[in-house]
Amino acid sequence: MGNIGRKKRRIEVLPTSDPSRSEPRQTPATSPSEQPAPPVREPAAPASTPS
């Protein structure tokens, strides 16, 4: 049973380090993605308003 406990602890450490590395990468990728999104909605809104 001692081995099982050690394996569980290793599994918890792996997912903890994975999301930590993925978060910093996704954060910068989300910022640039949000910027190009608003400009695309702006031209679409005024275009549908006059029509």
Q: How far apart are CA 51 and CA 32, in angstroms?
A: 31
- The pTM for the full model equals 0.13
Q: How far apart are CA 30 and CA 28, in angstroms?
A: 5
With cut-offs at 50, 70 and 90, classify the pLDDT of residue 45. low
| pLDDT at residue 3 is higher than 60 | yes
Over residues 12-19, the mean pLDDT reads: 56
Sign (positive or negative) of CA dihedral 43, 49, 50, 51 = positive
Task: List the end-to-end C-alpha distance of the chain, in Å, as a whole number.
Answer: 71
| pLDDT at residue 11 is higher than 60 | no
pLDDT, position 26: 52
pLDDT, position 32: 53
pLDDT, position 16: 56
